[in-house]
Amino acid sequence: MSHSENSMSWLGFSGRTCVVTGGAGGIGSETARQMAAAGAKVAILDRTSEICADVLNDILLAGGTAIAVGCDVSDAASVALAAETVLRELGPAQVLVNNAGIGGGGRVALLDASLEEWQRLLSINLTGAFLCAQAFGAQMRDAGKGGTMVHVASIGGDIAIPKGIAYSVSKAGVLMLSKQLCLELAQYGIRSNCVSPGLVRTPMSEAYYQDESRLRARNEAVPSGRIATSIDMAEAILFLASDRSSYVNGEDLLIDGGLSQVVMANIPRV
């Protein structure tokens, strides 16, 4: 056991099969790395196995166990094939991190948004989470050892985002999906929770932070004084996926540095 794995043994991931969708992205790749460092067998799922190469190599070079699996989460057949691959190579899933998702694209007003864009966002962000929960939830149920799911929602699932097209709607759907999974899967010892990131600097959001004045303004808008990193999100995901949160079920953990609390501070006063 490595020093890193030993220091993270309290999380209880050693030997567990953990599936991370969107595993090549910022939050997904950091989550995969940390789970592997804690001793998990990690399945990194993303659009193609090739784009998972960097995080896969990082894990393997560090002595961890991982596989990369190409998977289009919006396609039921692709998800079923990925689930079969995970079962064959790593054993039944015990942890699912539903992280795969896309942003709102070109910031189009709702009345101007195309049906194609609406359906694309919902098919990946919401239907994808449903299909993966169904496929890997069945593995957890059939193995009879329980399990846990963590779904990456968004502050936008509860607070409307200007020109967010279907993004906020899709993430609100993820929040309710998690509650429904909690209700239906608890009988099998399977928990379901969400994390809702606020402002996070990841490859998907990097375009927002290229301008120094905008970056400074965004940092200043957050009470904690900074934009979150993928590490901030991964650490919360690991907590909810671990036995340390064994009595937390059907909840949403908002991780926004206090951003959601500034509404009244913006009201003009005497």
Options 167, 208, 209, 247, the catalytic residue: 167
Torsions phi, psi for 143 (to 5 deg): -75, -25
**CB of 132 within 8 A of CB of 98?**
yes
**CB of 19 within 8 A of CB of 97?**
yes
Orientation angle between helical segments 115-122 and 167-185, nearest 10 degrees: 30
Active-site residue flag, 167: yes
Residue 219 CB neighbour total at 10 angstroms: 15
Q: Distance between CA 164 and CA 158 in Å, rounded?
A: 13
Which residues lie closer than 8 Å to 50 by C-beta, 6 or more apart?
A: 70
Which residues lie closer than 8 Å to 216 by C-beta, 6 or more apart?
A: none
Pick from 142, 154, 127, 152: nearest CA to 185? 142
Active-site positions read 167
